Structure 1
Amino acid sequence: MTALFEHSPWVEERADARASSGDRHADLMAVMHEASPEEQLALIRAHPELAGKAAIDRTLTDASAAEQASAGLDRLTQGEFDQFHTLNAAYRERFGFPFIICVRLTDKAGILAAMERRLGNEREAEIAKALEQIGEIVRLRLEDQK
């Protein structure tokens, strides 16, 4: 079974420890949003950079590898790879965590455009956006388990 959250089993564990609302996604999102700011940042930081080192050395989780491949991130030209590398570095420098987007809902061009656009956001807005995108990733992973 695919882990729903990247290297963060505590979210599912906490959701399992409380009464279910009957909506697994909502229960998981409640845990994520009730987590401390430090826990939320750790959750965001547990995600790999897109087309980054983990993709190259093949240390992505199976789910992340499949998701990145679905957006073509495993088939980048050298120019595209360089663009991802530059934007990843700029994003991490500005915000202190990796860029998060639900890659299954977009493509390479959409991801690059979002990275460029979101570099202009304030840090708190990017934390909120990253958590929103994690929610989308989890929603799709839950649907895959059905």
Structure 2
Amino acid sequence: MRRDEIMALPEAEFVARLGFLFEHSPWVVERAARRRPFADLHAGLMQVVAEAADDERLALVRAHPELAGKAAVDRTLTAASTAEQASAGLDRLTQAEFDRFHALNTAYRERFGFPFVICVRKTDKAGILAAMERRLAHDREAELAAALAEVGEIVKLRLEDLS
């Protein structure tokens, strides 16, 4: 759909079509629907996130699955997350790679209280592991900001897929 067609959708249809953009967090799109039109849909959506309460932004990050984690093993990821993780090769890990992801996911969650978020479509397994190790050195505030920036990148690519 073209941008003008998306902006003209009735609120319920706008939410139904775009609610998947933010992992298990359709509230972002619901709020954005009431603020339309946007010159830049991505910027408008991310403005909703920026203006959300701290606990809502934290919940948004927490709604993301761990990379190569339990949801991937159980096959309970959303369709978008399944495809994205597969694009980075996370569905084809060796046992050693899986163990490394598990250890880093655990360390990350224990340190920050939320899962590691990265736009996997912009990197590969090695890049993800390096980013996990590097970002473990962040303080919580910096890491939450990094995670939200990555959410923005994920949403940008999901929007591009709609074109």
Same fold (TM over 0.5): yes
| Equivalent residue, structure 1, for 2:28 | 11
Which residue type is aligned with residue 45 of structure 1? Answer: R
CA distance in 1, matches of 2:33, 2:86: 31
Which residue type is aligned with residue 70 of structure 1? Answer: S
Deviation at 1:132, TM superposition (A): 0.2
Count of aligned residue pairs for this structure pair: 146
Q: 2:140 aligns with which of 97, 103, 123?
A: 123
Q: 2:130 aligns with which of 113, 129, 141?
A: 113
Which residue type is aligned with residue 81 of structure 2? Answer: S
Deviation at 1:20, TM superposition (A): 1.9
Give the number of the structure whose alpha-carbon radius of gyration is greater. Answer: 2
| Equivalent residue, structure 2, for 1:141 | 158
CA distance in 2, matches of 1:17, 1:59: 31
Percent identity over paired residues: 73
Q: 2:117 aligns with which of 97, 100, 107?
A: 100
CA distance in 1, matches of 2:63, 2:126: 24
Matched, 1:53 2:70: yes
Higher helix share: 2
Runs ≥4 residues deviating over 6 A: none
Higher relative contact order (CA 8 A, sep 6+): 1
CA distance in 1, matches of 2:36, 2:120: 31
CA distance in 1, matches of 2:36, 2:93: 45
Matched, 1:42 2:59: yes
CA distance in 2, matches of 1:67, 1:26: 22
| Equivalent residue, structure 2, for 1:80 | 97
- CA RMSD, Structure 1 to Structure 2 (Å): 0.8
Show structure 1 runs of 5+ residues with no match.
Answer: none
TM-score normalised by L of structure 2: 0.88
Deviation at 1:36, TM superposition (A): 0.5
CA distance in 1, matches of 2:36, 2:69: 38
TM-score normalised by L of structure 1: 0.98
